[in-house]
A and B are shown apart, each in its own frame.
Chain A
């Protein structure tokens, strides 16, 4: 296929001096420093509970806003009110010893990125995620029940998402 090749956008290409390279030189760093830094991530004791609770409250607020403002605010913006706290849970959970929170929130993000409309069925699915996230957060990821049933919980949520798309289409 032949594409029209004019008019073209005027674009100036700039090659800024690499002052950063000039300052640090070459050679990288000792691999052991990267391993040491990784241990900092793994061993840092941060109480994620208050952080997680804050983001969960924000997610619940997003559900309420969506339910009460449908028709007044467009779907994209309503979905964003739930998407951003979900993103924060996904981002921070795994950094502070809550990998299941990250997995579940990542599935919620994938769901919210795919839906086109903030309808009641969407909110029902989101509510299931909220309740699951709340349970994981309050019980803690080291809780025996959470360890035993974490995978099943994730699968159940995944299936809830799939059922939504079976009903409403992608």
Chain B
């Protein structure tokens, strides 16, 4: 049986209207019937607080509030109805430094523009099938920034739970 996409809603936060409409059309073609648009991070956060959407697809560069600030608000503000919601960030940047910047704000997945329909679909499947565990520490709250445990890691441990790495080796 195919995904029951009619049961979820996606919030697209994008200030470029043609891009927002294109993303909406793509998602609707996938079968997602409820796709809501917001023009910037501020409007996106207000919409999310009211609707508690299942997935957020946000652009990085927007004014007055960008996608990174929106992510931080969703992850950390008390008003946020679901701090664990999957957030897919769209951007033209693909450099490692920028990807890390986005990852450190609590983004779940990164989608580099320009993209193809299959790229967006892959990110949606990723947040459905392989959601990441969340980490809460003094300086960060968001999806685990490590994709997988490396049993051969020899650097300094960063978390108390890294004891488990020792157990693996």
Contact = CB atoms under 8 A, between A and B. Distances in A.
Nearest to A12: B136
Instruction: Choose among A5, A24, A29, A95 the residue with the greatest number of B CB atoms under 10 Å from its CB.
Output: A24
Interface in B9-24: 16, 18-19, 22
B2 A30 contact: yes
Interface of A: 1, 3-6, 8-16, 18-21, 23-30, 33-38, 40-41, 44, 46, 51, 84, 87-96, 99, 102, 105-106, 109-110, 113
Which label, helix, strand, loop or mixed, suits the secondary structure of the A interface? helix
A24 B117 CA distance: 19
Q: 8 smallest A-B Cβ distances: which pairs? A: A94-B114, A91-B92, A91-B113, A37-B117, A16-B84, A87-B92, A11-B159, A3-B156
A3 B157 CA distance: 8
Given A29-B3, A91-B90, A109-B95, 11 more contacts: A3-B154, A9-B158, A10-B159, A20-B131, A30-B2, A34-B118, A41-B116, A44-B25, A90-B92, A91-B114, A92-B19
A87 B26 contact: no
Contacts of A89: 92
Contacts of B3: 24-29
A4 to B, nearest CB: 6
Contacts of A34: 30, 117-118, 121
A36 B29 contact: yes
Contacts of A29: 2-3, 5, 30-31, 121
Contact of A14 (B54, B86, B135, B154): B135
